[in-house]
Chains A and B, each alone.
Chain A
Amino acid sequence: MATIEKFVVETTLESEIKPYRKIVEDVLTDLAMAGKISRIHVVVRPEESLFLMVATLRRVLPLIKVSDIAEVSTGKVEGTVLIELTEEKPLPVLLELLWDKYGRNSVDQPERRTLIVTTGDSDEVNNVKNIVVDDPHKSLKATLADMAIRASPEGFRVRYHSLTGSDFIFVATEDQMKPEWVEEANMLLEKLKGD
């Protein structure tokens, strides 16, 4: 938890802060979020059935393109593009994307990390290089929502969440959502950023 600059948990009773902080810490650790969040503030008011979480992210991560994970060059045969992956993990996603774009028959995989795409045009190299394989921001958004849901009390199923740039807001309750709670969360976020 040392990497988080600011980590505040507030509950109605002071004695319940420590155990709830531990729950949030465990969730952050489980989802490996500690390195991605710089500041976080959590407020729980059980008597109002209210859970608020605001957080700021470390930085907005860039898109991951094929050129970041592979060496792309013109194939030996004219009209083909050779992709040599440096890691295997993004392979399934890349294959799906290539199949969608060029068709299954045009993608050949002679080896685990080597792909030959028949594009019919050798200039296609640059296009292939720019294919976006992963959008960390998008996956981070999903993980952030998951993190907030895990950290919130069970049964608080009426939720509001937003991720604007590096600012994350989450409000959960089991009753009707009140606009002033979202407002309160926004104010908390401003305060968190201002500190």
Chain B
Amino acid sequence: MAAVLEPYIYEGGIHKHSLLVELLEDLGGYIVQKTPAATEVTLNMLIPKRDVHLVEELAKKLLGKLTKAPLTGVEIAVVTPTLAYHHLPHSACDVAEHFRRDGANTNMIGLARGMGRRVALSSDYERKLINEHDVAVFTFGTFSDCIINKKTKLFEGVRIPIIVTGGPDLNTEDVPGADAYVGNIGRISHRMRKGQEIESLENMNRIVGEIVDQMRENLSRDPVSVLPARVMKEIQEQIPDINYVLTPAPLTLQLDGIRVKLPFDKYHEAVENIELDESTVLSDVANITPSKMKDYILVKIKRKSDTGFVI
């Protein structure tokens, strides 16, 4: 039986942080992402539940801060109707940044022709790209008429949970096709930093967190054959080239998979042949396909009901 892992973020000085990394390795936890910034470091990690207190003690000794990060290991698509100044940098970046604070990996997707009312549409490629994520967050504007009657056509073909943000106070039922609606985050042309604005963002994280919890619960009924974090560790050990990739998260965890930011043509065989144990390679328990994002590799892990075992 695999240990239950809890997601946490450690923020502290870079000095002696390797002690924490070593401790985590000893405990059987995983570093999901490490972001050094000058003298500071941010570690997104999964810690075995029963050993959290050990990491907490060490973090305290190192004068760092350990906080729970419920969205760790979740890849969120923040979808805006376009990438124009109506959405960027505010409010779409504020939304994405707030998700990252809770440990999520976010990708901003600006649709090519998502603007307007009658003319708004999404392409097949865009829908496929969105579907590669765990959750899609659509950021809309100020007018309830647009959100309720016009913009919902952008949800067509999106099979993952859809969370909508917008200005007016609406109920989720009012927005057809949405799994949740978060108000007070509409079109905003300034940095969201006032109390009420931050509160709305917190509310959004809470709602997305609830949806992710629900997804995790559904997943636990028919678990993935191998933990994505375990696959991540094996890739780091068996494909050293991943260490030379300069993108922020070379291995991006998802609830049921992992995005490997290496060129598909050159590396897909290496990824397929990752040894998980003596008799199992990754291609036995996962579908490995080219990602719609650049030329990356998308690994979607099969469920226990499919393979008949859990590693």
Contact = CB atoms under 8 A, between A and B. Distances in A.
Interface of A: 11-13, 15-16, 19-20, 22-23, 26-27, 30, 44, 46-47, 49, 150, 153-157, 174-175
A23 B86 CA distance: 10
B82 A154 contact: yes
Interface string B137-179: 0000111111000000000000000000001110000000000
A157 B116 CA distance: 9
A30 B86 CA distance: 13
Nearest to A175: B118
B116 A154 contact: yes
B282 interface: no
B49 interface: no
Contact of B118 (A15, A30, A44, A49): A49
B174 to A, nearest CB: 13
Nearest to A150: B85
B224 interface: no
A26 B189 CA distance: 6
Contacts of A26: 188-190
Contacts of B84: 154
B119 interface: yes
A11 B187 CA distance: 15
Nearest to B142: A19
19 contacts: A11-B143, A13-B144, A16-B144, A22-B189, A27-B189, A46-B143, A46-B145, A47-B145, A49-B118, A153-B86, A153-B143, A153-B146, A154-B82, A154-B84, A154-B86, A154-B115, A154-B116, A155-B115, A174-B118
A174 B120 CA distance: 11
B12 interface: no
Nearest to B86: A154
B257 interface: no
Contact of A16 (B85, B86, B119, B167): B167
A112 B82 CA distance: 43
Contacts of B146: 46, 153
A154 B144 contact: no
Contacts of B119: 155, 174
Most buried by B among A13, A23, A30, A150: A23
B143 A23 contact: no
Contacts of A12: 145
Given A23-B187, A155-B119, 5 more contacts: A16-B143, A16-B168, A26-B189, A150-B189, A155-B81
Contacts of B87: 154
Contact of B116 (A30, A150, A155): A155
A49 B117 contact: yes
A15 B188 CA distance: 16
Contacts of B48: none
Nearest to B146: A46
A26 to B, nearest CB: 4
Contacts of B168: 13, 15-16
Given A12-B145, A47-B145, A155 B186 contact: no
B142 A155 contact: no
Contacts of A156: 116
Of listed A13, A15, A16, residue having the most chain B CB within 10 A: A16
Nearest to B184: A19
Interface in B10-62: none
Q: Which of B81, B145, B169 has the most CB of A within 10 A?
A: B145
A98 B125 CA distance: 52
A20 B117 contact: no
A157 B187 CA distance: 18
Nearest to B84: A154
A23 B189 contact: yes
B116 A174 contact: yes
Nearest to B85: A150
A13 B120 CA distance: 22
A28 to B, nearest CB: 10
Q: What are the nearest 8 A-B pairs in CB distance?
A: A155-B116, A155-B115, A26-B189, A46-B143, A154-B115, A154-B86, A174-B116, A46-B145
A19 B84 CA distance: 19
Contacts of B115: 154-155
